[in-house]
Amino acid sequence: MGKVFILLFLLIAFVVSAVSQSGRKVTTPRSTPPAPIQPPLIPEPEPLLTSAVASRAPLLFLTESFREREISALESGSFRLADFPGKVVVINLWASWCGPCRREVPEYEKVRKAYAEREVEFIGLTTEDPRTSGARVKKFLRNVNFTFRLGWADAQVAHTLMNGERGIPQTLVIDSEGRVVGHWTGYIPRHSGDRLTAAINQALDDTP
């Protein structure tokens, strides 16, 4: 009898526990949603244009009509590229606001002195407007020893010589027949003079 009573008591306790547990709401923990993917701080570079689109035909030759064009000298008067027959002509395009131009001039002056006895003419053309930049250009020249033949490149002269490349400084080396032997943009510290020397030597070798 006692065993039956104990079993009955355990059964009643089990039922009461089950009933009390059935009223409890069982929840499952929510998983934390993944953090959104942030765009990179530095965006991927745009794809480069193909060479067929990005490249332009190089300037290979200065026509006789262009070489006959009058160029206003910086101080007074004018000159033409045709005024130097039989000579290699170096043209440096510069501007008074251009820091690399200021640093390039001393290297180019050393080259000019090295060819003082050769058939080479050195010309510096500023792309600025003389009506608005005259005082600034004069100040630049007071601070920089630039003894090239200096002149103003008007819009047409600048457009032709720069050939669509708007960077400053630019340098062209032209042989005595009007062929453009070298044309580059920018200044490379301690190397621009060497590059100019190599192009002049090539132009001199090509001169009949």
Q: Is residue 25 in some structural domain?
A: no
Instruction: Decide if 108 contacts 169 (C-beta within 8 A).
Output: no
* Structural domain of 146: 56-206
Residue 127 within a domain: yes
Q: How far apart are CA 15 and CA 6, in angstroms?
A: 14
202 class by beta-carbon count within 10 Å (0-12 exposed, 13-18 middle, 19+ buried):
middle
Q: How many domains does one find in the chain?
A: 1
| Residue 23 placed within a domain | no
| 170 falls within a domain | yes
Q: How many residues are given for the chain?
A: 208
Report if residue 86 sits inside a domain.
yes
Is residue 31 domain-resident? no
Residue 161 near residue 59 (C-beta atoms within 8 A): yes
What is residue 110's predicted lDDT score, i.e. its pLDDT?
97
| Alpha-carbon gap, residue 141 to 105, rounded angstroms | 11
CATH number at residue 118: 3.40.30.10
SS3 143: helix
The answer to whether position 91 is within a domain reads yes
Per-residue pLDDT of the chain (208 residues; tens, 9 = 90+): 555 555 555 555 554 454 444 444 444 445 444 433 333 333 333 332 333 334 468 889 999 999 999 999 998 899 999 999 999 999 999 999 999 999 999 999 999 999 999 999 999 999 999 999 999 999 999 999 999 999 999 999 999 999 988 899 999 999 999 999 999 999 999 899 999 999 999 999 976 6
**Contact, 185 vs 164, CB < 8 A?**
no
Does the model's pTM come out above 0.75?
A: no
In a domain? residue 6? no
Give phi and psi for 183, each to the nearest 5: -155, 120
Cα–Cα dist 81/64, whole Å: 9
Q: What is the pLDDT of residue 47?
A: 30
Report the number of secondary-structure helices (H) and strands (E) in the chain: 7, 7
